[in-house]
Structure 1
Amino acid sequence: MWKAITSGVLGAWIVAAALIPAAADLSCWTNLIGGFLVLGIGLFMAHRHRVLGALNSFFGMLVAVTSLWPQSPQQLVLGGLIAITAVAAIWQYYRESVGKST
């Protein structure tokens, strides 16, 4: 669960950094570091949720690559996709935990 929450926070952070027009350098470093963190988290998530972990790793890799072009529209899209993937993982964790308790 912590992996999905951390991934969601990083996705929101990437979107926020891409929206601040005066912070091009911050956006570049945020996306580079955030992209690699999301990539790593996705690899950990892949142990339990293969598809969501693979998506997270793929989006994280793309964010790290697009950090070379600060504040590109792709960063908004990819950050949003990372956050959506994290919400899907949280929902899946929740469904599995409720399914086990009933």
Structure 2
Amino acid sequence: MTLFDQNVYFVLRQIPKGKVISYGAVAAMAGYPGYARHVGKLLSNLPKDSTLPWFRVLNSQGQISLKGADLERQKALLLKEDIEVSDTGRVSMKNYLWRPE
């Protein structure tokens, strides 16, 4: 596991239930500004049974970036935390964005 991986996982563990954050914000908080795509790639390789809250990470427009069954899985996990998700997979960043203090 790389330092990048460790830092991203640390940030993921901090995201509170019922909140979301963007890939870019995770990258910046992990100490790697501009590495949003790398965060996405790392999360896409997590095992299906991962306990990390990967599903709380969205693109900068508040949209789920996944397609098909993966989109539905992420949407279901967000809904389970009372996060409203549109039919197209969009979340209101205004209402649910995590802003660490």
TM-score normalized with structure 1 length:
0.28
Which fold has the larger relative contact order, with Cα–Cα distance below 8 Å and residues 6 or more apart in sequence? 1
Q: Which has the higher helix share?
A: 1
Larger radius of gyration: 1
TM-score by length of 2: 0.29
